[in-house]
Amino acid sequence: MLKTTIPFVDLRGKTPVDLLRAFPDKASGLIRASTFLFGWPSHLLSYFALPFMDKRSHAWLTETQNPYLYEIETFADILDVPGVFALNTCYEWGCTSGVYRSGESVSLLRVLDWPFAELGKQVMMVRQSGKAGDFYNLTWPAMSGVFTAMAPGRFSAAINQAPMRRHGKSFLGDWLQNRKMVRDERGIPPEHLLRRVFETAKTYDEAKKMLSETRISLPVIFVLSGIGAGEGCVIERLENTAEVAELGARQQLVASNHFTSSLTTVGEGWRPREEDSEGRWKQASDILGHDLAPAHFDWLRAPIISKRTRLCAVMDASSMRLLAQGFEGVTPATDIYNLPAESYEQQRKAV
């Protein structure tokens, strides 16, 4: 596979709508690629399913008064293809993340696994701004939420999908019941909460408070690192409940796609997401901060890397260090992006 460079876009003073206007073909390609999740049968089914999913997703975003509704509606108007609303409420992936002590600072490791093809090849580094300051967002055009980002001098954060609630039914029955629960919920989607945090939270403590206390639409795991020694945590969330594990004096604190807190006892149990959540958690727990110091991802091994891996990143908000690389499964799809290795003038690209 031919590797490409992760493009940098300076979006300060602008919005994700401007990003989409600059790269509409990239967004359309990603939506098209998502319809081939299960080959041609799913592509054909998408002609009927996506308009229905869009209608339901749009209605739910409207009913819950989502703060980014107008932006997503504008995405849909620009692209004029089905799938935009569904894509912005989609939440079906597995990830491995963690916070690692690195001398006096803390690094955040993030490996994102998602079944949609081309996400690794098409990932972008976007410099955005909010009331609290600038942040670097690893994202894609027509995506309103934030999943992996760093705010220099403030914090870094990532989202892991939480395990699936069990309801004593089959896998499909549990999944449908959980979708109904989301439909009836009025909390904010986790990826939109994380964007609000990057736009408005000035400190690590403020970010942790918002991620722990704001009502959300479905369970999630947030991983957050700050700029001081010991400033790192894993926040396991239900809609209106949080369990926070602090890095403190530990060398690392990791998360995959199962709960490790008392939330495991809530309800009728939980199904871990994706492949080998426990194995990925154990492997990530064996990584040390100095393993993440080189400007490469040679430490990345199975089971953390898998056929669905799309992105790997290491972020340190105290030193403004950010390494990122797109993947299509176990194969690198981009060159390694090294933020501090490039001058500001080289980075700057106005939309």
CATH assignment at residue 204 = 3.60.60.10
Residue 274 lies in a domain: yes
For residues 134 and 152, is the Cβ–Cβ distance under 8 A? yes
- Position 332, amino acid: P
Residue 238 lies in a domain: yes
Contacts 24+ apart (CB under 8 A), 149-153: 149/194, 149/198, 150/108, 150/315, 150/316, 150/317, 150/320, 150/322, 151/198, 151/317, 152/317, 152/320, 153/227, 153/317, 153/318, 153/320
Q: What is the DSSP letter of 120?
A: H
- Position 169, amino acid: K
Measured in degrees and rounded to the nearest 5, phi and psi for residue 70 equal: -60, -40
Residue 14 lies in a domain: no
- What's the number of domains the chain is made of? 1
Q: What is the DSSP letter of 131?
A: T
**What mean pLDDT comes out for the span 263-290?**
91
Residue 298 lies in a domain: yes
pLDDT computed for residue 214 by the predictor: 97
Residue 158 lies in a domain: yes
122: nearest Cα among 306, 295, 310? 310
199: nearest Cα among 11, 337, 63? 11
**What mean pLDDT comes out for the span 241-246?**
97
- Host domain of residue 199: 92-347
Residue 257 lies in a domain: yes
> Residues 152-208: pLDDT tens digits?
999 999 999 999 999 989 888 887 888 888 888 889 999 999 999 999 999 999 999
